[in-house]
Amino acid sequence: MKKIILDSLGKSQHRGLNFRDMLYNNEARAFFFQIVTFVLVVGLFYTAIGNLFQNIEERGINTGFTFLKNRAGFDILPFLGNYVVDYTPESSNFSVFYVGLINTLVVAFVGIILSTLIGLFIGIARLSNNYLVAKLAGGYIELFRNVPILLQILFWYNLFINLFPHPKQSFAFFDIMFLNQRGLYLPKPIPEDGFLLVALSLLVGIIASYFVKQHYKKKHELTGIHTSTWPFSVALILGLPIIIFLVLGSPLQFDIAVLGKFNLRGGMNVVPEFLALTFALSVYTATYIAEAIRSGIEAVDKGQKEAAAAIGLTPTQSLKLIILPQALRVAIPPTINQYLNLTKNSSLATAIGYPELMSAFGGTVLNQVGQAVEILAMAMLVYLVISLFISLLLNYVNNKMAIQGR
């Protein structure tokens, strides 16, 4: 490489710069290519944006973000976002964005936890020495991995509303929780005066127990005397808030759902759209996580398992203490990528009418206002930020998990 450049430079010194030499000069060529690409890309953008403005003006489409302040004027399926924002049809379009964002995040959050649990379970089950369990886990992966996620969302939703009973015959759990085709009804906590103190005492308890633990850890390192800290932790984290709670005279009430004429009324209604969507996404994503965990476990050296058995660990101990910690090092990066996929796939909620970002804001508001550029830009920005956040998490984990050479 260097030789060629030197050669050509030498030649050009010899004969002076001419076009032919320029053509064969690598640096000149690189410069030329970059300029051309730059001009092409910028030109393309310039024309596209120019056309965009011209088209918007011709069609009389509004521009700018003033539409966010306008009245939304439509109902949204009541769920977490509605409660947090206190949404009514009188609210602004920006509240719709906010409602959608909250609903997206809650699906992503619950979905990530659930899919990890299922994935872990299936991944381990796949390698079980129980023939039936291993085959079932394999069947699960082959079945749910090879059906488009949109179909699965529709399937679970329709199954849910068809399988569970009418509100009048709800499954009741001790008459405080109810499950029926309209969703899951949980008691709704209503904090009264003084509940803040209880919450604060919990926080204090957690912080205090951390310091206690640090203290005894230091002592253990210095003196070798081991003290188990869990009684202190329990006392601080659970005891302290409970005492304060009782002293203040139970400042927390629960609103429990009761059967009205048609529906259960009151309580906290977790709508079936949410349950079905989260479940579908978790079941689907879990197949990928299970495969990641399986390949992680298979990547652990066989000797490790044998060594664990040799020092007398039970299979459960060996899995927990020896195999999984090493397997996770391989399994976690692809798993975190799946978290991003799960969050992106939550945008398919529009098919069953769960009001997340792309269905409430990117769908209904877009149809009402028609300002596709602004609305889609906002939605894409949210997903960009989420994905950036997950990439940062991935980098952090990769650094943390890297085998530390000493």
Partner 1 sequence: MKQLLKLSAASLLVVGALSVQASTLGDVQAKGYVSCGVSKGLAGFSSADSSGTWTGVDVDVCRAVAAATLGDAQKVKFVPLTAKERFTALQSGEIDMLSRNTTWTITRDASLGLNFAGVNYYDGQGFMVKSSLGVSSAMELSGAAVCIQAGTTTELNLADWGKANGIEYNSVVSDTNAQTLTNYDAGRCDVLTTDASGLYSMRAAASDPSEHVVLPEIISKEPLGPVVRQGDDQWFNIVRWSLNAMITAEELGVTSATVDEVTNNPERERLMGRSGSTHEYVGLTPDWTYQIVKQVGNYSESFERNIGINTPIGIARGVNALWTDGGILYSPPFR
Partner 2 sequence: MPVFDQQETRKPPISQIGAVLWLKTNLFSSWINSILTFASLYLLYIMIPPLLNWMIFDASFSFGTINFFGFEIKFSEEMATNDNCGRVGACWPYIYEKLYMYTYGFYPRTETWRPNTVFALTGLLFVIVPLVKNYKYKNRVTLSLIILYPLISYVLIAGGFGLLTPVATDQWGGLLLTLIIASVGIIVSFPIGVLLALGRQSNLKVIKLFSTLFIEFIRAVPLITILFMASFVLPLFLESGNYFDKLLRALIGIALFQAAYFAEVVRGGLQAIPRGQYEAADAIGLSYFQKNVLIILPQALKISIPNIVGSSISLFKDTTLVLIIGLFDMLAMVNLTSNDPYWLGRETEGFVFVTMVMWAILYTMSRYSRKLELRFNTENKN
Stretch binding partner 1 (CB under 8 A), from 46-54, 73-81, 130-138, 341-349: 73-81
Distances (CA, A) of 191 to 243, 252, 254, 268: 17, 5, 8, 14
The pair of structure tokens assigned to 45 is: 């953008």
The binding track of 351-370 with respect to partner 2, each residue x by CB under 8 A or -, is: x------x---x---x----
- Report if residue 263 touches partner 1, rule: CB under 8 A: yes
Binds 383: which of partner 1, partner 2, none (CB < 5-8 Å by kind): partner 2
- Report if residue 277 touches partner 1, rule: CB under 8 A: no
Q: At what angle do helices 195-223 and 240-247 cross, to 10 degrees?
A: 160
Distances (CA, A) of 246 to 133, 167, 194, 202: 47, 35, 11, 14
The pair of structure tokens assigned to 393 is: 């998490």
Largest Cα–Cα distance of the chain, in whole Å?
Answer: 98
**174: number of CA atoms within 13 Å, CB side?**
3
The binding track of 352-371 with respect to partner 1, each residue x by CB under 8 A or -, is: xx---------xx--xxxx-
- Report if residue 344 touches partner 2, rule: CB under 8 A: yes
The pair of structure tokens assigned to 247 is: 């002293």
Binds 226: which of partner 2, partner 1, none (CB < 5-8 Å by kind): none
d(CA 219, CA 215): 6
Q: Is the separation of the CB atoms in 355 and 76 below 8 Å?
A: yes
Q: Is the separation of the CB atoms in 284 and 93 below 8 Å?
A: no
53/211 with CB nearer partner 1 = 53
Can you tell me which of 62, 63, 128, 250 binds partner 2, judged by CB under 8 A?
Answer: 128
Residue identified by tokens 């910690």 is 325
- Report if residue 191 touches partner 1, rule: CB under 8 A: no
Can you tell me which of 113, 143, 200, 307 binds partner 2, judged by CB under 8 A?
Answer: 143
Residue identified by tokens 């009541």 is 78
User: Least distance (Å) from partner 2 to the CB of residue 145?
Assistant: 7
Binding residues for partner 1, per CB under 8 A? Answer: 58-62, 67, 70-71, 73-78, 89, 158, 161-162, 166, 181-182, 260-263, 265, 272, 350, 352-353, 363-364, 367-370
Binding residues for partner 2, per CB under 8 A? Answer: 1, 4, 30, 33-35, 37-38, 41, 48-49, 51-52, 54-56, 58, 128-133, 136, 142-143, 145-151, 154-155, 158, 340, 344-345, 347-348, 350-351, 358, 362, 366, 372-373, 376, 379-380, 383-384, 386-388
